Amino acid sequence: MDERNNKPVPQLIEVEPMQDGYRWVAITAMLLAIGIILHTVSPNVGGVTPNWTIAMYSIVINLTRPKLSQAIGIGFIAGLTLVPSSKSAFPLGNVASELAGATVCCLLVEAMVKIGISEWKLRPFITGFVATMTSGGLFTFILKLILGLPLHVWIYAMLPVVAIVGLLNGLITFFLYAPVRKLFYFQEDEK
């Protein structure tokens, strides 16, 4: 009681941060920013450039195991941030492709956790590769439609490049996952 006004003084309640709090937002924002910067400055070598953004959101999704709606948000933001730095004929295709990539990555991580292989060492590689194949496959298909390219150009010229980028992204996700996990002290059994 406040003796001057005879009114009760409200007590502060301390709330403990939880895994479902906003820590994943900060980690996502930081890693996506790193991915966008690397995506912007990475040189094109023989028509192939790793998509650092996909690798970074694959790491985030593997670490934080967000809800599907959150993964869709991650994909949407990733796609929007790629639009200004895109070197493609249709930059807005990034929005749809990253939505698809992040969604598939999230569903794949959840499926792996449900069948008991959440600690599988190759999980980051597989999810990074599959997310890239999904995102890149959709993106190049959108380009095929926009540019009116024949189907055989997409199958024999574009998809092999997507597969090479997928392998690079799988490797990037695999090799960066453990250091990033250690940096943020993630315990996967918290979820």
Domain 23-190 has CATH 3.40.50.10490: no
Report the C-alpha gap between 102 and 116 in whole angstroms: 21
**Model confidence, pTM:** 0.81
Which of 111, 97, 108 minimizes the C-alpha distance to 53? 97
| Each residue's pLDDT expressed in tens, for the chain with a length of 191 residues | 555 667 666 665 554 544 555 676 777 888 888 888 888 788 777 778 888 999 999 999 998 899 999 999 999 999 998 888 777 788 899 999 999 999 999 999 999 999 988 778 899 999 999 999 999 999 999 999 999 999 999 999 999 999 999 999 999 999 999 998 888 765 554 44
SS3 119: coil
SS3 169: helix
